Amino acid sequence: MKPRHHLYLDDELTEQLEALAAKPGSSKSAIVSDALRAYLARRGARELDDMLRVRLDRISRHLGRLERDQQILLESLALFIRYQLTVTAPLPEADQAAARALGQERFQAFVDQVGRRIADGRTLAGELLARIQGEEEGT
């Protein structure tokens, strides 16, 4: 048995409900039940949207910071490469083999150092930020 409800509707809404219920296979109860069910479903979805909006806004801000940091890193790298190529004179043909061997050794040392620092969870950027913050606190 379904519980009975007594509702009061204004005249215009009553006329519209009567018109819909006049169609074959429909009833006032079914129309009101469907409308209430749809309203409650939208309300639940809206509450979920409100909760997710906060998280999505936080993620968007985080992604914006990551994008900014990536642009800074790429610009810094590009400027360093341009500077390095500008100030480094080309080597004579006879010295190039020795320079390549020395470059390979230096590059391997660089890769090893990066690997150790990443494995330890240390970053040069983090150290620089800590140094800057230390200098600001000392000022």
* Amino acid 52: pLDDT: 86
Per-residue pLDDT at 108: 95
Tell me if 28 sits within 8 A of 17, measured CB to CB: yes
**pLDDT of amino acid 87:** 92
With a pLDDT cut of 70, the percent of the chain lying above it is 99
CA distance 22 to 16: 10
Q: pLDDT tens for residues 7-27?
A: 888 999 999 989 988 988 888
Please state the pTM of the whole predicted model: 0.47
Domain residues of the chain, as ranges? Answer: 19-88, 93-139
Q: Is 90 left (phi over 0), alpha (psi -120 to 50) or beta?
A: beta
Q: What is the pLDDT along the chain (139 residues), one digit of tens a residue?
A: 788 888 888 999 999 989 988 988 888 888 888 888 888 878 777 777 888 888 999 999 999 999 998 998 889 899 999 999 899 888 899 999 999 999 999 999 999 998 998 899 888 878 887 888 888 777 6
Query: What sign for the dihedral angle of Cα 66, 68, 72, 75?
Result: positive
